[in-house]
Amino acid sequence: MLKITLALAVAFVSLTPNVVAFADDHAGMKQEHEAAHLQHDQWAAEHAKWRAEHMRALALMAKLQAKIYEHEAELIEHDEEMRAHEDHAMHHGEEIAHHDHDGDASDHDALKKQHQEFSAKHDAMAKKHAAVKGGHEELHELLQKLFSVMKSEK
């Protein structure tokens, strides 16, 4: 039995250096893990920066979309003002024709005053149209720049 115990002890001692790991044996693995961790931190920071850029780009796109909606609302309002102005002009023309037919001089001053109001309203609408047109041109220039950038990225 002593021989068996001795044989086991010798076998154990000869295997021990292979079983016990030294810190230096894993130094390369630890360095790789640390390098990978640093790289992951860098990637995460880049992702955060890119996400912030994406959010800002989406915010700008939302502002652009809002500008387009606002411009469209201006066009709708201006169209309605023009329609009402045209309606007023048509009725005013009918009043003038009626006045010419009847020849009532007392209506002449009232018609003249209405026509001056019509002309003033028309001048104001012309200024509004110029402003709406300027807004459209500004928006169109912005869109053209965006389209050019998008086409160049293909």
Does residue 20 form part of some domain? Answer: no
Cα of 128 vs its chain's centroid, Å: 27
* Domain that residue 70 falls in: 56-100+111-153
Q: How far apart are alpha carbons 121 and 115 in whole angstroms?
A: 10
Does residue 44 form part of some domain? Answer: no
Q: How far apart are alpha carbons 92 and 83 in whole angstroms?
A: 14
Length of the chain measured in residues: 154
- Helical H runs in the chain? 2-19, 27-102, 105-152
DSSP 21: P
pTM of this structure:
0.62
Does residue 2 form part of some domain? Answer: no
Does residue 22 form part of some domain? Answer: no
Long-range pairs for 38-41: beta carbons < 8 A, 24 or more residues apart:
none
**Per-residue pLDDT, 82:** 94
Residues in the chain with pLDDT values less than 70: 6, 8-23, 103-106, 154
Q: How far apart are alpha carbons 96 and 153 in whole angstroms?
A: 62
Does residue 19 form part of some domain? Answer: no
Does residue 143 form part of some domain? Answer: yes
Render pLDDT for 45-59 as a digit per residue (tens, 0 to 9): 999 999 999 999 999
**Per-residue pLDDT, 5:** 73
Closest listed residue to residue 59, CA positions, set 49, 71, 51: 51
Q: What are the b/e assignments for 52-89, b being 16+ CB within 10 Å?
A: eeeeeeeeeeeeeeeeeeebeeeeeebeeeeeeeeeee
Does residue 140 form part of some domain? Answer: yes
Does residue 137 form part of some domain? Answer: yes
Q: How far apart are alpha carbons 151 and 137 in whole angstroms?
A: 21
Q: How many domains does the chain have?
A: 1
**Per-residue pLDDT, 128:** 92
